[in-house]
Structure 1
Amino acid sequence: MTISPQLRRTGSYERRGRARAVRDRSEARAYLAELARKEAEQTASARERLATSGAVLLSDLKELDPVAFRLFLRLLGDALAGMRHGTESVTTTTGDGTMEIRLTKVPGPHREAVVRTTDGTFRGPEHRVQITDLVGGTGTRETEAADE
């Protein structure tokens, strides 16, 4: 068994001398809190922007900013991943439970959807989409409940 030279010399692993000064991290914490607040505001705004008042064609969505587009792609990816061969529609909820998307294939000949973003154009197969903001109460969830 090997014994450290310091342990052999002093009988202790502890450092001797003055303790290190404690760093004040309050400025860094305040910066991170502000960053988190801004990100939460942007995400809430994107959820509100994406929520539809019913089923709409993908190509009927208005131009999306980068934050809303990233959220849209995540929603669309979740829905497409949940769609099984032979099914016409799928409903899924985001992993964090804040949004619900219902994606339905458009019958008939293949049509292309065009979604405009501030960074360019997104193209893909046309679908009907219904997006509900489960946190902000925006979307069809409340209108469906009122109709029942």
Structure 2
Amino acid sequence: MSNTDANFQQLFPPTSQVNKDNENPTLSVNHLTPTDDQIKDWLQSPQIKQWLRKLLMGIPNNLKVEAINTIIKNVIQNPDKDYQVQFGSSTIGVYVLRWQLWAAYKLPYASGIKTPDCPYTLKKHLDTLD
């Protein structure tokens, strides 16, 4: 039994805090820190509205717009926290590490769930403005 324990520790050495700390600066360097206006402009852009209209989520377009407005309000209050809004079995959310909008919904008469990410990210939006 002690032989197995020794081999286990060799296969899976304990992780040190130093390694974890070295990974975090890379993530924070790549992480965007947009202004409130940049977030609003991106989430209210025609590209986002068009993407939401195409989704067959089973919720009306006016509720999708309301979800985006709720996301904007909450993300501006706390830009380091992901946020999502749920309507029945459909959800729209934003992943703030990549600043990407996503949705999750069940297709009518289907057993699977669709979870598309919006291809129009905040980074793309900012790049088009330059």
TM-score, L = length of structure 1: 0.29
Greater percentage in helix = 2
* Largest Rg, 1 or 2: 1
Greater percentage in strand = 1
Q: Which has the higher relative contact order, 1 or 2, with Cα contacts under 8 A spaced 6 or more apart?
A: 1
